[in-house]
Amino acid sequence: MNKTIRLTTAQALVQFIHQQYIEVDGIQTPFVEGVFNIFGHGNVLGIGQALEENPGNLHIYQGKNEQGMALSAVAFAKQSLRQKIYAVTSSVGPGSANLVTAAGTALANNIPVLLLPGDTFATRQPDPVLQQLEHNHSAAITTNDALKPVSRYWDRITRPEQIMSSLIRAFESLTNPETAGPATICISQDVAGEAFDYPEEFFIKRVHYLDRPKATKRSLEALTTAIKESKRPVILVGGGAKYSEAREELIYLSKTHHIPIVETQAGKSTVESTFPNNLGGLGVTGNLAANKIVKSADLVIGVGTRYTDFTTGSKGLFNYDTTTFANINISRAQAYKLDALQVVGDAKAVLGQLTETLVGYQTSYGEDIKKIKNEWLTERDRLKQIEFNRNNFTPEIAGHFSQDYLNKYADLFNSQLTQTNVLIAINELIDQESIIVGAAGSLPGDLQRVWESAIPNTYHLEYGYSCMGYEIAGALGTKLAKPEKESYAMVGDGSFLMLHTELVTALQYDKKINILLFDNSGYGCINNLQMSNGSGSFFTELINHETKEIMTIDYATVGQGYGLKTYKVTTKDELIFAIEDAKKQTVSTLIDIKVLPKTMTDGYDAWWHVGVAEESQNLTINKAYESKEINLKGAKQY
């Protein structure tokens, strides 16, 4: 007779996740590192009680905002190369609603995270309970239904025994590289406390194997032929290559066969920037070298990339008359992108196969790769040297910003710092093994272009969803994943205002993070988009509605109030001091950097398809629309 153990549904859940392991290349490690929580009436007496009674080796952290703590969990899994996760539990209602943005971020980036929101009563006897929604057409709908479209796996538990099959399915999804993303299990609050006689074998150690499927003979031969027939192939490194840990194979193939490497935001720092054949970021936020090389390429080999519009320049970056595509991807659906030759398999494994089939092959680039990279390094050095000149300063974004406009901000901030100058200085000042985190605004563009990652997996950008507010929560997540390294959140003032409360969690648990806050008093990236397409500056700057004056906020004082070590920076010398002093601190830090607007980098031969108004009384908008239509003619339509 099978032995059973009597547990509540929540206790069974906790005991199950204690026993989940993942094996990668023969090494087994626990898969669930811990649990982030904000307890409310939907989960405190269920999962809360179970964690208090038997936390095992799980690390338990009290979050400050459901979205924020879930984003920390997403960043942890991303920095851990999807080989470890955190679970996240919230109450029903606003708590679970706050998880939606973080779930979307995880789904867009294929990052595993286990979401455990509470739910209403399965019995429905107390309905409507506190925070319950009511729909006349269905009593079964709760706030948690909003998580369905942003979850890779979703289930609602209305009986204790349902947790068994549900958890097994959830962990299959979480540990599958092709389907990695958020798994949401909503537990009715009455059921969470109900007991059931669970079979003991449900709680045995389970190992989830991250296998490395190789390319089929057919697809490998086709890929090998395509490469050998090409003269100017380019390898496009995406996030899948980083998660697969394909660095050594990429370097070997690139060096042996003289193939240039370009990167997506997620793929950057898979191979260090100092590798001679690494030309850097591609696309709308890409640099001169990468965008130039793909225009002359006859074959683009996408490795673990989703080909987002920023990477492809809205599908307008490539010369489709002369360029073909081959995609190596664990996902068959992603391998089909851009009508490419499809090679389904693990990036590291497939690239390893290529090292054997491409023997003797050489590209025709000659000195072109070195020449193009040097051209970009010269341009990067020019950007490094740009400084504000009150009498003669040319903005980097567009020429229609007057000198008076910039002088006004210089007087307002008492600063003459430019964004590109500051970023490159920070790149040189912080330790090379430090992790930088970014997500939204103009910073991702500047970072992908000018940031040089000397150490692999130190560039952590969330750009699949470009989630404002990810940055500080993400820095906490990366710190939990790599506690021995300094973690820097690169955040604009707009993102800081949207979500920064997990900095309190960092303080609470002595997890030092560093916040580099770039303050230009507005949403500079969207302001650039708005004005460069013919509109005026309309509700994208922080302007007092009565005085019409630009607002100035003392973020250093805000951070000081939380308990951070803070710095105010308006000069290069102050920046150097702040960075160096922050390294010596044991408490989290915030450096409030006042930068002039319109001093970020511009695009380099890439176009972004946006919805410009087709009709307007504004002639500059009409011109922007005509330009959009011209660019659209050169873009692929599928």
Binding site for thiamine diphosphate, by residue number, is 66
Binding site, annotated residues? 66, 493, 520
What CA–CA distance (Å, rounded) separates 115 from 297? 43
Peptide bond into 128 cis (omega under 30): yes
What CA–CA distance (Å, rounded) separates 463 from 465? 5
Give whole-number Cα distances, 62 to 15, 37, 76, 86, 605, in Å. 20, 5, 15, 12, 46
Backbone angles phi, psi at 583, to 5 degrees: -60, -30
What CA–CA distance (Å, rounded) separates 242 from 449? 19
Binding site, annotated residues for Mg(2+)? 493, 520
Residue among 209, 298, 203, 205 nearest 259 (CA): 298
- DSSP assignment string, 145-203: GGGGGG-SEEEEE-STTHHHHHHHHHHHHHT-TTT-SEEEEEEEHHHHT-EEEEEGGGG
For the CA atoms of 76, 79, 82, 87, what is the dihedral angle to 10 degrees? 0
Give whole-number Cα distances, 474 to 169, 334, 437, 502, 560, in Å. 27, 26, 7, 9, 21
What CA–CA distance (Å, rounded) separates 175 from 178? 9
What CA–CA distance (Å, rounded) separates 160 from 199? 12
Torsional sign, CA 415, 420, 426, 429: negative
What CA–CA distance (Å, rounded) separates 243 from 80? 9
Residue among 324, 325, 344 nearest 334 (CA): 344
Residue among 120, 132, 32, 26 nearest 76 (CA): 32
What CA–CA distance (Å, rounded) separates 561 from 558? 5
299-303 and 233-237 beta bridge pairing: parallel
Q: What's the first-to-final CA gap in the chain, in angstroms?
A: 59
What CA–CA distance (Å, rounded) separates 107 from 465? 9
Strand order in the sheet with 206-209: 27-30, 20-24, 206-209
**Which spans in 322-418 are helix H?**
332-335, 347-357, 368-385, 403-413
